[in-house]
Structure 1
Amino acid sequence: MNFDIPADLAAYLEELDEFVEREIKPLQHQDDNNRFFDHRREDARTDWDRDGLPNAEWEALLHEAKRRADAAGHYRYPLPEEYGGQNGTNLGMAIIREHFAAQGLGLHNDLQNEHSVVGNNVGLLLMIAYGSDEQKAEWVDDLAEGRRGFAFGITEPEHGSDATHMETTAVRDGDEWIISGEKTWNTGIHTASHDMIMARTSGNAGDGDGITAFLVPTRSEGFEILEYLWTFNMPTDHAHIRLTDVRVPHGAIFGEEGHGLQIVQHFFNENRIRQAASSLGAAQYCIDESVAHALERKPFGKALATNQAIQFPLVELQTQCEMLRALIHKTAWSMDEYGAFAVSDKVSMCNYWANRLCCEAADKAIQVHGGMGYSRHKPFEHIYRHHRRYRITEGAEEIQMRRVAGYMFGFMSQQAPKGVASISGS
């Protein structure tokens, strides 16, 4: 067994670092753009007078960074070559995302809104895997160029993680469907031209089948944004929406009728390993910064690093990072070799443990850095507030543990649901 990072991937990390130094860091420090990353970040990023939405200048800066990354051939790394990508693998994406997150906050990679110069463009990956020929012709270029996008209407106010009991329904009326219901935590809806709405079209509450995905224009009659939910880490782009007798054509169905939920489950499986890698990288950053500070800071005439009360907690965190890194790399490699659903239990293990570990590492970094650690002049409070979200979203850690238990005790099987394809470039 060889645990080295593949030589071509190691070389690509160096190429990415050179690009960031040459193109992205100067942009971050141009025209006071660094206000979005230093102690002013939450205030600078948030339009407090517009429902707490992301500041338009902040989003324009992210778009420019992505444009430069795309021009340099990096942004589409995970996509197939035919769409301008590099056939990026799950292992490659995991290593890249950990590498970037371990460098701390910056325009190269900002996890608060999934921004990175190596894109995790979920909408585009799903469109390539599940879109009809007509949908691909309409959407792929716009999604790749960032001209247009769609949000994800999955979670409902009364059901949270239990998507199989969703109350949103779609009823066929000739060549159209009539959709009614409510969705919450509808992220990115403020700029989305469409919303991918999951609605029950057949079956009974609790059934995994019978739920269909529809691409619904956000300007449709009967489509309302009720409020934006303010969160622990601002700004917010998480909306509560309502659909009242919204009509869409039959061609608005995304993927197979009745199998929409399985599409999202697959997206979750592949996205969770990337999320785990990001949390691992952020945890490593907190540990590294704490070690450096403990060596430099000398209260009472000696370095903090000489105190076992400082050493031992950081040793435990570093040990967990090393073990988790091995499991993430093995799991991502296995997904490339055997499919995303072949190691669903390992994906859940990586995800819930990495998110929890990151919060613990950020909390310890705050403690080691003392008053400055608690202030916004250090990034640890931001890291904690953001990664605390991941312990709930895309399947709370309790849901992840329940999934692992399901495989352990034989209640679930390691195979892809019907209608599920691969969304990685490999």
Structure 2
Amino acid sequence: MDFDLPEDLRAYLRELDEFIDAEITPLEQAEDNIRFFDHRREDARTDWDRGGLPAADWEALLAESRRRADAAGHYRYAFPAEFGGRDGTNLGMAVIREHLAHRGLGLHCDLQNEHAIVANNVGLLLMLEYGSEEQKRHWVDGLAAGTKFFAFGITEPEHGSDATHMETTAVRDGDEWIINGAKTFNTGVHIAEADLIFARTAGRAGDGTGITAFLVPTDAPGFVVEEYLWTFNMPTDHARVSLTDVRVPHAAVFGQEGRGLGVVQHFFNENRIRQAASSLGAAQYCIDRAVAYAKERKPFGKPLAANQAIQFPLVELHTQCAMLRALIRQTAWTMDTHGTFAASEQVSMCNYWANRLCCEAADRAMQVHGGLGYSRHTPFEHIYRHHRRYRITEGAEEIQMRRVAGYLFGFMDRAAVKGV
């Protein structure tokens, strides 16, 4: 067994670092752009007069970094070559996402809003997999360039983690569908051309089939953004929306009618392994910063690093990072080799543990840094606030553990999922 990273991937990480140093860091430091990364002034990101939405100049800076990354051939790394990408793999994306997060917070990778110079644009991958030819013609180029977006309308106010008890419904009326319901935590809907709304079209509450995905224009009559939900970290782009007799053509169906949950699961598996890798990178960053500080700080005449009370918690976290890194890379390799759904159990393991580990690493880094760690002169409280949400979103850690338990205790069939 060969556990070495492919040389072309190692070379690409060096290429990325050179691009960041030459293009992205200077942009981050230009004029007063650093205000968005100065934790004492990070409210500059928030437009308090528009319900807490991201400020226009903050989103413009992100767009410029995406444009530069795209021009340099990095933004589309994960996409097929025919769409300007490099045919990136799940393993490659996991390694890259960890690498970017391990560099620390910055314009190269700001996970508060899922921004990175190598796009985690699962929307495009889903479009290529499930979109009709008409939908692809409309969406692919914009999605690939990062200039066109659609949001995901999955979660409902009364049914957070249980998508099968979806109350949003869609009823066929000739060549149209009429949609009624509500969705919450629709991230990015303020800049989205459409919202990918999941609605029950057949069957009963609790059924895994009978749910259909629709690309609903955000300017459709009856589609209303009711509010943006303020969160632990700001700004917010997480909307609660209502749909009242919203009409869409049959061409708005995304994927197969009644098979919408398959689209959701595909999205989750692709996104969760990459997000787990990001949490791992952020955790390792916190540990490395804490170790460096413990070597420098000398209370009572000796370095903090000489104390086992400082050493041992960081040793445990560092060990967990090493073990998690091996599992994430093995899981990503399995997805590349045997298909997206071949490692669903392992994806859940990686996801819930990485998110918890990042929170623990940020908390420990605060403790090692003492009062300074609790202040906004260090990045740890920001990292904690951001990554704490991942223990809830896209499947709470309890949902992930329940999924693993399903395989472990025989309630779910590994062979059936893996197709063997």
The alignment's TM-score, normalised by the length of structure 1, stands at 0.97
1:265 aligns with 2:230: no
- Most deviating of 143-152 and 108-117: 143-152
| Number of the residue aligned with 1:245 | 245
* 1:152-163 equivalences in 2 (<5 Å): 152-163=152-163
The structural deviation recorded for 1:416 is: 7.8
- What value does the CA root-mean-square deviation take over the aligned residues? 1.3
Q: Check whether the contact 1:42–1:235 (CA below 8 A) recurs between aligned residues.
A: no
1:416 and 1:88 map into 2 onto residues whose CA distance is 27
Q: Secondary structure at the match of 2:213?
A: strand
For residues 25-80 of structure 1, the C-alpha deviation after alignment (integer angstroms, 9 at most, x for no partner) is 00000011011111235311111111000011110000000000000111000001
Paired residue total: 419
Q: Which runs of 5+ in 1 are unaligned?
A: 421-426
Instruction: List alignment gaps of at least 5 residues for structure 2.
Output: none
1:277 paired with 2:277, answer yes
CA displacement at 1:193 relative to structure 2: 1.2
1:424 maps to none
Moved over 3 A (4+): 414-418
Aligned pair 1:82/2:82, yes or no? yes
Which structure ranks higher in relative contact order (CA pairs < 8 Å, sequence separation ≥ 6)?
1
| One-letter amino acid matched to 2:102 | A
Q: Tell me how far apart the structure 1 counterparts of residues 31 and 136 of structure 2 sit (CA, whole Å).
A: 38
The answer to which of 16-25 and 409-418 deviates more is 409-418
Distance 2:337 2:146 in 1: 31
- Conserved? CA contact 1:152–1:186, under 8 Å: yes
Q: Does 1:224 align with 2:224?
A: yes
Q: Deviations over 1:109-155 (max 9, x none)?
A: 11111111100112111111111011101111111223321100000
Contact 1:101-1:279 at 8 Å conserved across structures: yes
Query: Within 2, Cα distance between the matches of 1:416 and 1:156?
Result: 29
Q: What residue number does 1:354 align with? A: 354
Is 1:134 aligned with 2:129? no
Bigger fraction of residues in helix: 2
User: Partner residue of 1:316?
Assistant: 316
Query: Could you tell me whether the CA contact under 8 Å between 1:342 and 1:415 is conserved in 2?
Result: no
Distance 2:415 2:99 in 1: 30
Query: Does residue 1:107 correspond to 2:107, yes or no?
Result: yes
Q: Which residue of 2 aligns with 1:40?
A: 40
Residue 417 of structure 1 and its aligned partner are, at CA, apart by: 7.5
Instruction: Show the counterpart of 1:394.
Output: 394
Distance of 1:214 and 1:306 partners within structure 2: 59
CA distance, structure 2, for counterparts of residue 171 and residue 417 of structure 1: 31
Range 41-50 or range 238-247, more displaced: 41-50
Matching residue of 2:183: 183
Kept after mapping to 1: 8 A contact 2:157/2:183: yes
SS at match of 2:134: helix
Q: Is the 8 A contact 1:128 1:136 kept in 2?
A: yes
- Do 1:124 and 1:144's aligned partners in 2 also have CA atoms closer than 8 Å? yes
Q: Tell me, yes or no, if the aligned pair for 1:407 and 1:414 is still in contact at 8 Å.
A: yes
Q: Identity of counterpart residues, as a percentage? A: 77
Q: Distance in 1 between the 2:6 and 2:417 partners? A: 31
Listed one character per residue, the Cα deviations across residues 255-305 of structure 1 (whole Å, up to 9, x for unaligned) are 111111111111101111111100000000000000000000111111110
Contact 1:341/1:416, CA 8 A, preserved across alignment? no
| Residue 117 of structure 2: aligned partner | 117
How far is 1:391 from its partner? Answer: 0.3
